[in-house]
Amino acid sequence: MSDYGVTDKGFQMRRLDEIYTDICKRFKDEVGVDPSENPQSVMNILFTIFADAPAELWEAYAAAYQQLFPNTACGVALDNVMQVGGVSRIGQAKTKYFISCTGQEGTVIPVGALIQSSSRPQRTFQAVSASIISSANWRKLAIRPIESIAGTFTFDFGVSRNATSGEVGTYAESSSVTKKMTVSSYDDAYSQMLAAVKSFDALVKLGITVSDETDDQGEHSIVLTASGAADSFSATLCKYITVTEVTSNIQFESAEYGSYVLAEGVITQIVTTVDGWTACTNDITPIKGRLTQTDAEARTSYTNRVASRGTGTVASIVSLLYSDVEGVTFAAGYENYNDTTDAEGRPPHSIEIVVQGGTDEDVANIIWKNKAGGIRAYGKHYAYATDVNGNRQYLEFTRVNDVYLLLSITVTSSGGLDDDYVARIKSLLMEENLSAGATIRLQKFIRPIMENVSGVDYIEIRGLLSEKPEIETVADSSMLTGIVPVQINQQPIISMSGIRVVKA
């Protein structure tokens, strides 16, 4: 076997110096003159030129060989070689928000309707489909009696939870109240209706509060408000009730591809004017989008995702979630094959799939179609999949929740620090990419600071995961050094308000 080219040790390339030495030796053997003995000779210059062309060919051969493998291929070549493994590069996706939209009953928000954030840089979002602000899909509902009402009538009011997915324990429920009333005036009717709705015990179980509110014109309304921002209910109303205002959750997506996670309450500007649509805001965690995977990201995920060729395995489910569900930015799988509940609370013979992004329905369908028969899909979130017979099947998985990583940085310096060292350190930390479910090693943050901020002699870093993004009231003594544990369903996020930089 030749010592060069494709060998049992991989591809061995002939270098320019080796080619030059070889042709000089051959010329000397045939003619008796060694051109390399006189570097300034015309013969040596010609031989150097002659050696350069085959050296370039060898470099091209080596590059082509490297494009045959996922760990070294780039660009289109990487896409091609990944397809041999049955997977493809994860493409771009838009960030999806359920936006709280307030307006009159029956207001239609057309597909493509635009809203914007009040923050900078300003982000634009568009309605995914034509949707209706309606009492059939409300999280806040304001009602009152019809204007001309008197005498005896039957008051009928019902509420049903619209639930095809959600946290385990919050399933579809419905209840109604029926009461015969005799009223003498509008005010009398309003008082009796308010009392009847407030005494509706089922509302407490559904997490709905009832209040008497007054609008800018001094008109009273019976207002029902869901406790959860993502809750959705449907109301059954008798003909003696009129709806004054409804707040419904309507799905929007970012105008651009990528992950655009904004602070709550900043998407408030309505760009597309729609008669009857009065307000909007964001207070529900979005489904994050993403940009197309870079070569480095594609290589990193390839090994795990190639498992999709298997069936009935946790690895194959995770791989298919990445490949087949738009918007999935993280997925991991765990299983308990024992006959007893494990330390993490997983029941015997069950799997737990942890997912970030993607719609509940799409995620549920992938899990249902690819899990092994008789194995329970366990988790803290539930959804319904559709089986081959068209029947709905209940299953569970776990959603990734965002948490804030608070960081306290103590800088020691014997010389002069840059005037803007605090802003520069914060900016460097904001560029860090943190993975869901992965333990955070605080030492990784030290090197970028040491390399980019002059005058720093020593750095001490403390960290802590928190539900709130502010570090102002958190003492260093309550924070961790070394590593910060992250649960399998947590996505750490760094915010400017969660970073404290002080000089020792």
Looking at the DSSP bridge assignments, the partners of residue 221 are 213
DSSP letter (8 states) at residue 134:
B
Q: How far is CA 365 from the centre of its chain?
A: 19
Give the Cα separation of 119 and 463 in Å (integer). 28
Output the pLDDT for position 286.
87
Each residue's pLDDT tens digit, 433-492: 888 888 999 999 999 999 998 888 999 999 999 988 899 999 999 999 999 999 999 999
Any idea what the Cα angle at residue 457 is, between residues 456 and 462, rounded to 5°? 80
Mean pLDDT over all residues of the chain? 89
CA pair distance 354, 351, nearest whole angstrom: 10
| Band of residue 169 on the pLDDT scale cut at 50, 70, 90 | low
pLDDT at 18: 87
Percent of the chain, pLDDT > 70? 97
Lowest mean pLDDT among 118-122, 171-175, 323-327, 332-336: 171-175
What is the band of 335 on the pLDDT scale with cuts at 50, 70, 90?
Answer: very high
- State the pLDDT confidence band at 274, using cuts at 50, 70 and 90: very high
Q: Where are the beta strands (DSSP E) in 66-150?
A: 94-103, 107-109, 114-117, 124-127, 131-133, 140-145
Distance CA 352, CA 367 (A): 10
- Give me the residue label for tokens 């494990």: 342
- Whether the pLDDT of residue 310 is over 60: the answer is no
Indicate whether 307 pLDDT > 60. no
User: In this predicted structure, what is the pLDDT of residue 225?
Assistant: 95
What percent of the chain is modeled with pLDDT above 90?
49
Residue 176, pLDDT score? 85
Q: For residue 13, is pLDDT > 60? A: yes
* Confidence grade of residue 312 (pLDDT, cut at 50, 70, 90): low
Predicted local distance difference test score (pLDDT) of residue 196: 92
Q: Give domain limits for the chain.
A: 5-66, 94-281, 310-399, 402-503
Short-list 481, 446, 447, CA closest to 464: 481
User: Which of 260, 301, 329 has the alpha carbon at shortest distance from 115?
Assistant: 260
Residue 168 has pLDDT above 90, yes or no: no
Residue 291, pLDDT score: 87
- For residue 234, what is the DSSP state? E
Res 366 pLDDT > 60: yes
Q: What is the pLDDT of residue 379?
A: 94
d(CA 331, CA 353): 7
pLDDT at 152 over 60: yes
User: Which alpha helices (H) appear in 32-104, and where do they start and end?
Assistant: 42-66, 75-84
DSSP bridge partners of 2: none
- Choice among 53-57, 68-72, 211-215, 280-284 with the minimum mean pLDDT: 68-72
Contacts of 57 (CB under 8 A, 6+ apart): none
Which residues make beta-bridge pairs with 354? 332, 398
**Range of 316-325, 383-392, 492-501 with top mean pLDDT:** 492-501
**Per-residue pLDDT band at 1 (split at 50, 70, 90):** very low
